[in-house]
Structure 1
Amino acid sequence: MPYVENQPPLPRRRPVRGGTVLAAAALAAAGLAGCGGEGGSPPADARPGAASGSGAASAAPGTAPAGSPAASATARSPQPSGSPRPSGAGTGPLAGKVVVVDPGHNPGNVRHPNEINKLVDVGTHRKECDTTGTSTNDGYSEAEFTLDVSHRLRTLLERQGATVRFTQDADRPFGPCVDERARFGNGSAADAVVSVHADGSAEGNRGFHVILPALVKKGGADTTNIVGPSRELGERIAGNFVRATGGAPSNYVGKGTGLDVREDLGGLNLSTVPKVFIECGNMRDSKDKALLTSSQWRQKAAQGIADGISTYLLG
């Protein structure tokens, strides 16, 4: 079954860390160019968020622990995290480039059901502001995972001179809503936007996929100018994700390409800058879970995404 956005997290139990690494897959031959083709048919609506977690033990050197901001972030501004972090001297191959990283969901969403269930305009229709996200069967949340990978990704991109901005860093009570996330990337004049997620599908459904915007021109949505560059960005990320992780593309979405074209996601439909989503794996599959809960694998995942972004930006 394709990516389902409204799968709730399960009650949290003690996380299981560590795991094995997938064998190298066929997509590896695609190298920097990634892979082509469209994914399977789109499912229902908006993506989830998840419960918070400490993540301190799994943070990479030099990165902020995944859950540490959440402990003191229950009453801050409802605006996205708009201020770029210092990025050294701003030198390196990506100096002058702006990358928006969109960690899927906010750890606080689970405590704000009324707010995240409010309908917002996503151009083609109305949908929930956000959702609570999925989790592993023992309670490691998607929101914890996405923040951890996003912190690692930010460090890697800043080392190359990029300015990296987050839509949220567990620094607000909930959200931002899907329409706010799109506007944030647009308002940042981002050269690339990547929304980091993990899926919540059935046992046996394994692997990653990158979601690309379809050509949509309806209501307030017009992806005409971003379909081409977003596909290039997605292909670069897909190819480098395989190279860095040694993993395989999804066996249940994208027909083995690692790419899925969607017309139902407000975060893509409202974007005016190149943007993709990446589903790094399936949290409900036991083998994928062993990877997603491994700090070493999450570093590899962040490296693959960073390499894809940098090769896209450098042309």
Structure 2
Amino acid sequence: MSTGSLPRILRPLRAAALTTLLLAGVAACGGEGHKSSASDASTASPKSAEPRPSSAAPADKGAAGKGSTSKTAPAEEHPGDGPLKGKVVVIDPGHNIHNQDHPAEINRQVEAGNGRKECDTTGTATNSGYAEATFSLDVAHRIRRILQAQGATVTLTHDGDRPYGPCVDERAEIGNKAHADASVSVHADGAAPGDRGFHVILPALVKNEQADTSAIVGPSRELGERIAGNFVRVTGSAPSNYVGKGTGLDVRGDLGGLNLSKVPKVFIECGNMRDPDDAAQLTDEAWREKAAQGIANGISDFLHG
């Protein structure tokens, strides 16, 4: 793996420290490699973090698996004092556990900034039935708690309290209306077994009558690089072996949540729910706390400049 292709946040770790860190992670993920795939949460990975047909069946109601219940209560809504006081962060938990009960609503077409697509999808699940929507909301709660303790004002796009959605266009608009300093959409992928690791999705340059990402492409990349570097360090996970060619980064122009954002925003696919080794991590509460800490550290680094 070439250090020149790594996110900038990883480059200070060159030589022995970098080699030890990344080789250990790649070994844990079954080695480096990639296949061409359609990833989105919609054109390059097998699961849609945002609408794209998934080969994974929706989780059965109530079948949340061993990782379904977080012991971490949602944080208070009011931030404390700290180094991030005055900063606004929007966390977007991917999908909604109730989406499967509202097929007509989530299948309706909405503007995605580069075409139209479904309002939302059900997301994927582990083979044991632990739903991506459950995972993403749990991690979002943990990120919120960590960042609020540092003084940030943190808003979630939903808190599991809606009948479905929000739609992808509304998810972007929530960040825009909050004038967020950073926005992150939390997901887990639904690729083939053997596909392992995380990747961060960055907005492509999209400029048309519906969307203009020109102002956020640069800062969003910086945000994504900071998150990728911290995610490696805190979780020990390696970058995806099937998306991003080992960098942990993927640029997408088909995601409404990115195309319609006017604030720095990225998606993170924390692992592959369809791979048994990744699934063992995603369903583990202690690992989810590490994932949240890695994401929060990346956001904090970005906001500190």
TM norm. shorter chain > 0.5:
yes
Return the offset for 1:245.
0.3
- Counterpart in the other structure of 1:13: none
Structure 2 regions of 5+ residues with no counterpart?
A: 1-19, 26-34, 43-47
Aligned length: 262
Query: Does residue 59 of structure 1 match 2:70?
Result: yes
Alignment-mate amino acid for residue 201 of structure 1: A
- Which residue of 90, 96, 105 corresponds with 1:115? 105
Residues 56, 286 of structure 1: CA spacing in aligned structure 2 closer, same or farther, 3 A cutoff? closer
Q: Give the Cα separation in 2 of the matches to 1:250 and 1:239.
A: 13
- Give 1:59 deviation, angstroms: 2.2
Which residue type is aligned with residue 194 of structure 1? V
The residue identity in structure 1 corresponding to 2:174 is F
Tell me how far 1:26 sits from its aligned partner.
Answer: 4.5
Distance 1:126 1:219 in 2: 13
1:289 is matched with which residue?
279
Counterpart check, 1:152 vs 2:163: no
Q: 2:22 maps to what in 1?
A: 25
- Report deviation, 1:93: 0.3
8 Å Cα contact 1:124/1:219 also seen in 2? no
Structure 1 alignment gaps of length 5 or more: 1-22, 29-38, 65-83
Shift of 1:310: 0.2
TM-score, normalising length: structure 1: 0.78
How big is the shift at 1:218? 1.8
Among 78, 85, 89, the alignment partner of 1:86 is 78
Answer yes or no: is the 8 Å Cα contact 2:207–2:214 preserved in 1: yes
Q: Which residue of 1 is the match for residue 212 of structure 2?
A: 222
1:292 and 1:56 mapped to 2: Cα distance? 8
Structure 2 equivalent of residue 307 of structure 1 = 297
From 266, 270, 275, the counterpart of 2:256: 266
TM-score, normalised by the number of residues in structure 2: 0.81
Give, in whole Å, the separation in 2 of the partners of 1:103 and 1:235.
Answer: 20
Q: What per-residue deviation string (whole Å, max 9, x for no partner) do you get for residues 212-257 of structure 1?
A: 0011112311100000000000000000000100110000000000
Conserved? CA contact 1:200–1:284, under 8 Å: yes
SS at match of 1:158: helix
Assess if the C-alpha contact under 8 Å between 1:181 and 1:267 holds in 2. Answer: yes
User: Matches of 1:232 and 1:133 in 2, distance apart?
Assistant: 27
Q: CA RMSD in A?
A: 2.3
